[in-house]
Structures are given as C-alpha cells and as structure tokens.
Amino acid sequence: MNIRLTERLRKSYADAPKAVQKAFDKQLRLLAGNLNPPSLRAKKYDEAGDVWQARINRDWRFYFVIEADDCVIIGMRSHPK
C-alpha cells in the first residue's frame, strides 16, 4: 500500500513529541505492509466519511482514508481518555 501524507498530518507530526514521532514512524511502516497488524488496532472511525483510526501508542492515534492503493494519512492527535 502506498502512503501519502497530508499537510495537516505534517504539521501535527512536527508538533508532536519526539517519542510520538518515532512511534508513528514505526506504525506507518507496519501500515504500509499490512492494514491488520495487532499493534495498529486499526478500525473505522467515521463510517460516513470512510475515515479509519489507528494506534500510535497508548495515548496517540492517527487517522487515514483509503483511496484505491493509497493510504492517505490525514492527521494525528492525542487520544482523549
């Protein structure tokens, strides 16, 4: 699967702590190979918008849409508890 990053994601990434950036990079490599690795815990976040959510770590999530063979990462943020 091809990965594309939006400008919104790039800004969120730049603002995230270094540890979160490192974890995101790892999870992105997993996503590029397979949508179903257990550590991603990928699931539909918004059925109407076809937006998916996946885990970066315990406290952070990233959001993406699937367009043909592309996975477009649209954002990341801390996960509310």
Delimit the domains of the chain by residue range: 2-78
Q: pTM of this prediction?
A: 0.88
Instruction: Write the DSSP symbol of residue 3.
Output: E
CATH class of 2-78: alpha beta
The string over 19-43, giving b where at least 16 C-beta atoms fall within 10 Å of a residue's C-beta and e elsewhere, is ebbebbeebbebbeeeeeeeebebe
User: What distances in angstroms separate CA 28 from CA 48, 65, 71, 81, one per listed residue?
Assistant: 24, 14, 10, 23
Tens of pLDDT, residue by residue over 34-48, are: 777 788 898 899 888
Tens of pLDDT, residue by residue over 45-76, are: 988 888 999 999 999 999 999 998 899 999 99
